Every structure is written in C-alpha cells, then in structure tokens.
C-alpha cells in the first residue's frame, strides 16, 4: 500500500493530491495503479478479427466462381483507366501508404508519445514476418484452391501483401482509429493502394481483404500483448470528484474486492461519517463479455442480460435500481451521489453501514430470525416488481445489529416480469438451502412469502437459472434441487407445475448442428465421386429386393416393440409409429428418436410413463444384446478357415483385446464410471420388472425375439441386395459384420439418423472387405436412400396422421 500526499505524482493525474477547503491534505491509500494494462476489449477485437478471417476464407472457397468473376470485372475496369491516371494512382498510393504512418509517427513523437510509435513499429515488423510466412506456406504447401484465390494463379503475386499487412498492423497498434481525420486519410490511402494493385494485377480481392484482416489481428494482438497506458483515474481523482458533490473527504482507502468491473473505496468525511464509493472504469465494462454473450445466446431473451452496456448506461442502471429499492422500503445502502470522472470512469457514492457478507457468517449463526429477515427484504422488492438477480452470499449483508442489507443491485431489473421475479426466489432458495438445508430453507421461505410463491418458483429450480457461484456449489450437492422440490411439494401437494424452458438450445444441440454440417459436406463429397453411368447400370430386380427388405424392417421393428409390451398393441398402428420415427430421425440422433417416439406412443395408449419407458428400455436392451451377439458370431464365422474349423479371425481377437483394455480404463475413471452408470440406470431403470412381466407370456417372448432378429436380417438383406444391384458380390456374413459395425457407429454419432457417420463407416467397411470403391459408394447410397431418405415422406404422413388421431 502507498500513502499519497501533495505533489506525489505516483497517484495523482496532475501530480497533486486533492486537498480540502481549508488547505489540509487528503490522504489516499491505495496500491500503485499499473502504468500499463491489458484491455479485454483488445482481446475481443483480436478474436473477432480471427473469426471474420475464417468466415471470409470459407465463403471465398464456397463462392470461387463468383469471386473470380468479380475479380475479372475489377481488373478489367482498372485496365481501362488511362495509363497516366493508373501511374499517378500507383505513385500516390505508394507515397500515401508510407507517408501517412510516418507523418502520424512524427506527430506522436512531437507530443512525447514515442512509446506508442515503438509499439506500432513492433506490430509492423510482426505483421511483415507473419504475412511473409503465411504467403510462403500458401505457395509451397497450402491448399491449391486457396492459393489460386489469393494469387489468381499468376506467378509473382504475393498471397498476402506484405506492405499492406504491416501498415494495417502499425496503424492498429498506434490506435489511429481514435483520430477521425487520420483514420479517413489512412483508409483513402488503402483504397488507392488496392486500386493500384488491381491495375498492376499484383493482388487479388481476397488477397487484399485477407491482408487487411491479418494486419488488424496482428495489431490487436500487439495491443493486448504489450498492454496499453492505464487511463483509469487514481484515488486522488476519485476524491476530487467526491468533493465536487459537496462532501468534505479527509481520507480515502482502496478496498480489496473481487469484482471484475468496479473498484471500491472507503472515504472518510470531515464530519466522521463514511462513504462507500464504487468506481466504474470504462475499460473494465467488457470484462467477462464472452461469458455474458454465451449466456445471452443460450438463454431466452427475458432471462438474459445485455452483454454490452456503455459506461453511462451502467451508471444510470445502478443508480436507478438503488433509488427504486429505497422507494420500495428495502434495506439497501442509500445512494447519495453520482458523478463522471473524466471520460473513462464514473462513480456512485453510498452511505456506509458497517456489515459483513452472509458468506462470512458461520452456518450455525444463521437462525430462523435471520432467514425471515432475508425473505422479508426480498418480498419488499417483489411487491414493487424489482428483480435483484444476484441474491448470493456476497450481496446479502448483516449489519452490527443483525439487520439484513441487500447489496450489489447493479444487475437488477425494474418493472421485472414474473419470470425474473420467480428466478430470484429460486436463486435465493437454492443458496439458503446450501447453507441451512433444503427443509429449513423452504420452511422459512414459506412462512414469509407463502407456499404459492414457492410453488411458482418450482419449475425454475434448474441449474441453468442459477448464478455461476451457486452452480459451482451444487456440484458438491447434486441432489439438493430435488430435495428442495420435494419440500415444496409437501407444502403444496396439489400444485400444477408447468415446465419453463430457459434455454434456447443446449450445448449438445450446437454440437449436433456442427456435426450435421460436416456430415452433409462429406455426403455431398461422396455424391460428387459417384459415376453416373454406374448408377444407370443398376440391376432393378435387386433394387426391388432391397426396397422390399427396407420396408419389412418397419414391420420387424413393430413386432419387436409389441413383444416387450404386455399390453395389446395394434400391429398396423405400431408399424405407422415406426414410419413416423423415420421422419423424427431428421431432427434427432438415431439413438434418441426411436426411443422418444415409441415411449410417447405407449403413453398415449394409456401405459403409465414409468412402464412405457421400461418397455422401450427392455426392447433396446434386448436389441443391444442381439446386436453384440450377432456381431461376435458373424465375426467368428468370417474368420473360420473351414466349416468345421471355427477359428476366430485376427480382427476379432484384436477387437476383444482392445475391449479388454478399454473397459477397465473407463471403469477406473470415476467421472466416466458415474456418467455411464447414470445413463444406463436412467435408460433401463424398471426394465427387469417389465421383462419379468413379458416372460409370463411365451407368445410375447417369441414375438419380441423374432422381431429383434428379423430387424437385423432385413437390414443386412437390404445392404446385400444393394451391393448386388451394382454387380458386386460379398458373403452374407461379411455384409452382416459391415452393417452391424456401421449401425453401431451411426447410433453413437450425434448427427440426425447418424448422417455422414453411417455412410463413411459402411463405405469403408465394404471397401476393406474387397468391394470396389465405386460399387461400395453406390451401394451404400442406395441403401441409405431406401432406409433413411425414402421413408421420410411416408414417415411425415404417418406422424401427421397419428397426431391428428392423438396417438402421438
């Protein structure tokens, strides 16, 4: 800590410590502010530039013909310009590209800002080296299509213009964008330089754009790496701003805090009172921006907060929330003044009340009276429709007399909707349950706000709705939310809970979309490799056999489901449900769609949800057992050298050895073991009792096992007929192994219906088995056409019919 007095230049912007009206010195105690800081905004700009760069390159690769045509038009237009004009533009652009940075450097040196010029020179050198290295890599080892787009296929053309990249890196690092006049002159010079390059056919459109983006990225990386001069006002400036509000400070002390977006000072006044001052720094307003953006994209708009807010908007928001809370009668620190501190900061001054955070209060000191006070304060906010939005242990304080004070209302909302108010209840209830237990927390809340208000928060007891700190604490007590729900239901057993969906999408949905995009790309790639003459030569007789086998798979799937449901199911409608499942596969992974639609069908038939899930789980469990058994059996048979010598194949031996190594490793890792057991328990809970019910009927056993076996046989027959339709030939057991392995990979893939994964795995399996690449590719695409794409239309019709008749 350092003590700042008059003429102490280490903490005062003008070299003077503030003094009171009577001339006495104000003591400011704070750590020395760093001379340079890394601004999160520079890092965000760097990341955004990289993202734009990737998008530009990908779009250029997709629209190559359009880009080449546009470039031809630009070059043709520049070539039609008079020679004298072209030469003049070339001379002016070259002079401007070197002259503007040099003139700006001289201007900065005159104003004693040579360090900024040095940073710019460092960025220029880095930009030159990086652009040269990237250009050499693209020319010698880069993708051919990208090389053509960046050089136009002409010798001597730089993929990245070294001069342009280094100049953009330089002007970015010296922050020329903050000077409107200089910025306009610079971009005029860049435009002239681009015209001159096009006229001389020395660059391409993509090359110029990529050069600029690489220069920007290098400049922002330099700014973040070396840091920027610290423009945050020191404590002396804060004291001066407080004095302008009419107060008479005699001492200020910087308080240690963990807040990323504000500094806090304790200011002693001449009359002996204290102020708690919050300083909002402009450069810290973007701290945590990536997390806030992710939450805003992922959550519904009503629950998410604005990711970016200006300094003045942040000041006004916190001040308005403080005044509204005071008007509501809530016990919050009284706001006594606000002020800007120059152009880079603002402050809010609150009356100081000695208190300690609830996080610092031992659990045994949190009695029922304290819990009741907390809920009373929150209820005052709720009545006036004020949402606090951060009811955690660091924002709930207890003063010296044991009274509750609500702090840190900056994230709050005025005129909040019902959802935000219920979210506050859910958050506070969860936090207090972590401290005193679910039963006691629910009982204390019900005594103040009533069971009805707690019941309204019941569907919002979701991890995603809670603060980051509370979610982290729940990792140590994963059953707490369930316990809270049970306690609320005991108070209000007749409550009807409507599900509230807070997430726009889940992370696995994003993964599915990305995987589907890659799958579609690979599928299109395979389609472009097909010989159309090969398709026209398909034997339609075998194609008909493949189609019949594909259609019979739906009958087999219906028999399989009927066999594991003790209740009677109509065969026709059950077959339609399987067709409807083929439509659902378009929007869900293969392993999920069938389970979901069959479970829904059984529930609509009047079967209780638990038994419906158990029946589908039983069919899936038996299907999995059949799948593994058949795979091992066919692999065993395929490896036999003779009918009487059943020697297992070398591949099977390696597979079993690998499985023997992988399984113990997975089981020995606690997180993996818990994940697998949890998922298996959730899927197959209640399966054994359901199987025991089925075993009492021999007819059901026969129907279920027959359907399971026929389902695999018909799929293998369809793939085998597809191979023969294109003149290929492969043993039935080998085809069965390829299908079983490919189907397993497709079921594990996150893409809808295993799209992409199934095609690649089946094609690779057939090729390794000796089928030519053309035949294998054509056969797999015919197989997928008959089993995945063709049933979509009848699947949609079945889905719509079943919904109209309330069967789904």
- The confidence score (pLDDT) of residue 265 equals 92
Structure tokens at 661: 């190594």
Helix (H) or strand (E) holding 254: strand 249-255
Handedness of CA 775, 776, 780, 781 (dihedral sign): negative
pLDDT band at 61 (very low <50, low <70, confident <90, very high): confident
454 CB-contact burial (10 Å; exposed 0-12 / middle 13-18 / buried 19+): buried
With beta carbons less than 8 A apart as the criterion, state whether 275 and 255 touch: no
Average pLDDT score, the chain:
77
Q: Which of 8-22, 31-45, 565-579 has the lowest mean pLDDT?
A: 8-22
pLDDT in tens, 167-224: 899 889 888 887 888 888 888 888 888 877 776 777 788 888 899 999 999 999 998 8
Q: Specify the higher pLDDT residue, 675 or 450.
A: 450
For the cut 80, the answer to whether the pLDDT of residue 501 exceeds it is no
- The confidence score (pLDDT) of residue 443 equals 92
Rounded Cα distance, 661 and 645, in Å = 28
pLDDT in tens, 683-718: 555 555 555 565 566 777 788 788 888 888 898 899
Question: Closest by alpha carbon to 484, among 464, 457, 466, 465?
Answer: 457
With beta carbons less than 8 A apart as the criterion, state whether 732 and 716 touch: yes
Q: What is the mean pLDDT of residues 92-98?
A: 75
Quickly tell me which residue has 């369930």 as its tokens: 482
Contacts of 227 (CB under 8 A, 6+ apart): 36, 37, 38, 39
- The confidence score (pLDDT) of residue 2 equals 39
Beta partners for residue 207, in sequence order = none
**3 state DSSP class of 347:** strand
- The confidence score (pLDDT) of residue 783 equals 87
Helix (H) or strand (E) holding 27: strand 27-30
Give the other-Cβ count within 10 Å of 154's Cβ. Answer: 11
Question: Closest by alpha carbon to 614, among 543, 557, 661, 683?
Answer: 683
Rounded Cα distance, 696 and 691, in Å = 9
- The confidence score (pLDDT) of residue 591 equals 54
Quickly tell me which residue has 């993202």 as its tokens: 51
Structure tokens at 725: 């339709």
Beta partners for residue 645, in sequence order = 642
Rounded Cα distance, 86 and 78, in Å = 8
- The confidence score (pLDDT) of residue 656 equals 47
What are the two backbone dihedrals, phi and then psi, of residue 301, each rounded to the nearest 5 degrees? Answer: -60, -30
Q: What letter does residue 359 receive in the DSSP assignment? A: G
Give the other-Cβ count within 10 Å of 316's Cβ. Answer: 14
- The confidence score (pLDDT) of residue 163 equals 85
Q: HSE on the CB side for 734, CA within 13 Å? A: 15
Question: Closest by alpha carbon to 30, among 237, 320, 334?
Answer: 237
CA angle 504, 506, 507 (to 5 degrees): 130
For the cut 90, the answer to whether the pLDDT of residue 659 exceeds it is no
Handedness of CA 770, 772, 777, 782 (dihedral sign): negative
Rounded Cα distance, 757 and 742, in Å = 8
pLDDT band at 12 (very low <50, low <70, confident <90, very high): very low
- The confidence score (pLDDT) of residue 448 equals 92
Quickly tell me which residue has 């039983």 as its tokens: 618
- The confidence score (pLDDT) of residue 247 equals 92
Quickly tell me which residue has 């003429």 as its tokens: 7
Rounded Cα distance, 356 and 376, in Å = 19
For the cut 70, the answer to whether the pLDDT of residue 666 exceeds it is no
pLDDT in tens, 421-438: 988 999 999 999 999 999
Task: Tell me the H-state helices in 227-284.
Answer: 235-244
Q: Of 92-101, 263-272, 530-539, which one has max mean pLDDT?
A: 263-272
Rounded Cα distance, 453 and 426, in Å = 10
- The confidence score (pLDDT) of residue 308 equals 60
Helix (H) or strand (E) holding 614: helix 609-638
Distance of CA 67 to the CA centre of its chain: 32
pLDDT in tens, 734-787: 888 888 777 776 666 666 666 667 778 888 888 887 888 888 888 888 888 888
- The confidence score (pLDDT) of residue 761 equals 81
Q: pTM score, two decimals? A: 0.60
Rounded Cα distance, 483 and 479, in Å = 6
In terms of DSSP bridges, do strands 404-406 and 396-399 run parallel, antiparallel, or are they unpaired?
antiparallel
Quickly tell me which residue has 């000041």 as its tokens: 315
What are the two backbone dihedrals, phi and then psi, of residue 608, each rounded to the nearest 5 degrees? Answer: -55, 150
Rounded Cα distance, 465 and 477, in Å = 17
pLDDT in tens, 106-148: 888 887 777 888 888 889 899 888 988 888 888 888 787 888 8
With beta carbons less than 8 A apart as the criterion, state whether 275 and 243 touch: no
Q: What percent of the chain has pLDDT over 70?
A: 71
């Amino acid at each position: 800590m350092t003590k700042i007095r008059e003429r102490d230049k280490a903490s005062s912007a003008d070299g003077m410590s503030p003094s009171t009206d009577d001339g006495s010195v104000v003591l400011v105690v704070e750590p020395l502010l760093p001379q340079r800081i890394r601004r999160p905004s520079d890092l965000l700009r760097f990341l955004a530039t990289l993202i734009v760069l990737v998008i530009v390159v990908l779009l250029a690769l997709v629209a190559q013909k359009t880009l080449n045509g546009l470039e031809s038009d630009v070059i043709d237009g520049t070539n039609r310009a008079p020679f004298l004009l072209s030469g003049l533009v070339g001379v002016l652009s070259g002079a401007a590209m070197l002259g503007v940075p040099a003139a700006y450097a001289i201007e900065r040196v005159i104003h004693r800002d040579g360090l900024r010029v040095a940073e710019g020179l460092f960025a220029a050198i880095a930009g030159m080296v990086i652009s040269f290295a990237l250009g050499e890599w693209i020319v010698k080892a880069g993708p051919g299509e990208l090389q053509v787009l960046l050089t136009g296929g002409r010798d001597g053309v730089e993929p990245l213009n070294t001069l342009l990249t280094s100049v953009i890196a330089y002007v970015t690092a010296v922050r020329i964008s903050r000077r409107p006049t200089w910025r306009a002159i610079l971009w005029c010079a860049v435009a002239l330089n681009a015209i001159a390059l096009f006229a001389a056919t020395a660059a391409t459109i993509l090359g110029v754009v990529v050069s600029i983006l690489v220069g920007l990225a290098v400049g922002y990386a330099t700014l973040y790496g070396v840091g920027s001069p610290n423009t945050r006002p020191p404590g002396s400036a804060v004291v001066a701003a407080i004095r302008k509000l009419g107060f008479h400070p005699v001492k200020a002390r910087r308080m240690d805090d963990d807040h990323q977006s504000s500094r806090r000072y304790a200011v002693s006044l001449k009359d002996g009172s204290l102020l708690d001052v919050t300083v909002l720094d402009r450069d810290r307003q973007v701290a945590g921006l990536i997390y806030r953006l992710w939450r805003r994209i992922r959550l519904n708009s009503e629950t998410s907060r604005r990711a970016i807010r200006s300094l003045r908007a942040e000041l006004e928001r916190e001040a308005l929330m403080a005044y509204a809370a005071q008007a509501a009668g809530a016990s919050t620190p009284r706001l006594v003044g606000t002020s800007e501190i120059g152009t880079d900061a603002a402050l809010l001054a609150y009356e100081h009340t000695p208190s300690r955070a609830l996080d610092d209060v031992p659990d045994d000191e949190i009695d029922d009276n304290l819990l009741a006070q907390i809920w009373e304060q929150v209820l005052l906010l709720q009545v006036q429709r004020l949402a606090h939005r951060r009811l955690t242990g660091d924002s709930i304080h207890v003063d010296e007399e044991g009274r509750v004070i609500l702090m840190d209302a900056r994230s709050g909302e005025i005129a909040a909707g019902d959802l935000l108010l219920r979210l506050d209840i859910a958050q506070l209830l969860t936090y207090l349950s972590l401290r005193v237990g679910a039963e006691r927390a629910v009982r204390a809340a019900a005594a103040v706000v009533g069971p009805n208000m707690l019941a309204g928060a019941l569907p919002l007891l979701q991890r995603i709705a809670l603060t980051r700190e509370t979610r982290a604490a729940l990792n140590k007590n994963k059953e707490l939310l369930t316990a809270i729900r049970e306690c609320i239901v005991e108070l209000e057993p007749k409550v009807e809970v409507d599900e509230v969906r807070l997430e726009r999408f889940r992370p696995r949905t994003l993964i599915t979309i990305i995987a589907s995009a890659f799958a579609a790309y690979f599928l299109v790639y395979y389609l472009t490799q097909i010989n159309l003459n090969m398709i026209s030569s398909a034997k339609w007789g075998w194609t008909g056999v493949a189609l019949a086998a594909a259609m019979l798979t739906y009958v087999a799937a219906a028999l399989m489901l009927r066999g594991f449901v003790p209740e009677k199911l109509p065969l026709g409608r059950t077959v339609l449900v399987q067709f409807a499942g083929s439509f659902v596969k378009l929007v869900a992974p293969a392993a999920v769609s069938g389970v979901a639609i069959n479970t829904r069908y059984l529930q609509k038939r009047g079967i209780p949800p638990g038994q419906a899930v158990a029946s589908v789980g039983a069919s899936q469990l038996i299907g999995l057992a059949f799948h593994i058994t058949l795979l091992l059996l066919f692999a065993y048979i395929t490896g036999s050298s003779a009918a009487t010598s059943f020697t297992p194949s070398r591949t099977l031996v390696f597979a079993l050895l690998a499985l023997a190594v992988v399984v113990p490793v997975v089981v020995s890792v606690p997180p993996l073991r818990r994940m697998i057991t949890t998922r298996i328990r959730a899927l197959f809970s209640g399966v054994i009792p359901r199987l025991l019910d089925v075993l009492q009927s021999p007819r059901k056993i026969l129907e279920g096992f027959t359907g399971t076996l026929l389902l695999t046989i018909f799929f293998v027959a369809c793939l085998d007929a597809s191979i023969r339709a294109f003149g290929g030939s492969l043993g039935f057991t080998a085809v069965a192994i390829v299908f079983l392995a490919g189907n397993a990979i497709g079921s594990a893939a996150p893409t809808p219906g295993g799209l992409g994964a199934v095609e690649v795995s089946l094609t690779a399996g057939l090729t390794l088995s000796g089928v030519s690449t053309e035949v294998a590719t054509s056969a797999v695409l015919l197989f997928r056409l008959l089993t995945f794409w063709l049933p979509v239309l009848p699947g949609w019709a079945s889905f719509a019919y079943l919904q109209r008749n309330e069967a789904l």
